Structure 1
Amino acid sequence: MSVLNTFDVSECLSFLCFITFSLIFCFFMLFTSSVLGGKSSSRYKHTPFESGIAPVGDTCLHFSVKFYLVAMFFVIFDVEALYLYIWSVSIIETGWTGFLEAFIFILFLLLSLFYLIRIQALKWVNK
């Protein structure tokens, strides 16, 4: 059976209807909130935090690039741990093929972690 035989027009039409109604609903909600939403105006409306207190000091906070780097590493490894959790739930269905794929995936994870350690990307000490 080829891919063209399994193509169903009704599925595409229902997906198109879903997207269309979702967009219409979003625009309707935005329009309704702009019409019915409360509007206030006072002399303190456009001051910082609407409190009337003048800002003190510099608002620019400087973070180390290492912070963002470690945050990105955390997100990457966290998503990969989620993938491994999903694999462990379906281990019976995947069988030995799934086990081999997970083993290769874990191997790539370990190689990437060793690479990060080798290039000293996880060290906080300045040179």
Structure 2
Amino acid sequence: MVDLSQYLPILLFLAIAFGLSVLFVFLPMGVSRLTGAHNPDAAKLTEYECGFPAFEDARSQFDVRFYLVAISFIIFDLEAAFLFPWAVSLGETGWAGWLAMMTFLGILAIGLAYEWKKGALDWE
């Protein structure tokens, strides 16, 4: 027979985590409704995720700068993800690792300068 008492701390942890997550989600909504802070109007209910109002046709064209900003974010996010393990292992990789990372950062800097020169970072 299996002794299930060993799983009690895990079950207790999951119950506390679930309770706290429910508390952090629903308590602010309840407080805002009780205090009168819940006052939606047309401006608050507009689209804000993509920067322009939603449209009916999924094939209509819009500005390519949205893609450029997204790609730039992904590139520099990946750069940050590569910098941490490189910094941790720099003692083992030595000069070869340092030169490789400087080459990588140089290529990214050239790409950023090109993007800046082409006006992809200018927002109108």
The alignment's TM-score, normalised by the length of structure 2, stands at: 0.48
Q: Please tell me whether Structure 1 or Structure 2 has the larger radius of gyration of its CA atoms.
A: 1
The alignment's TM-score, normalised by the length of structure 1, stands at: 0.47
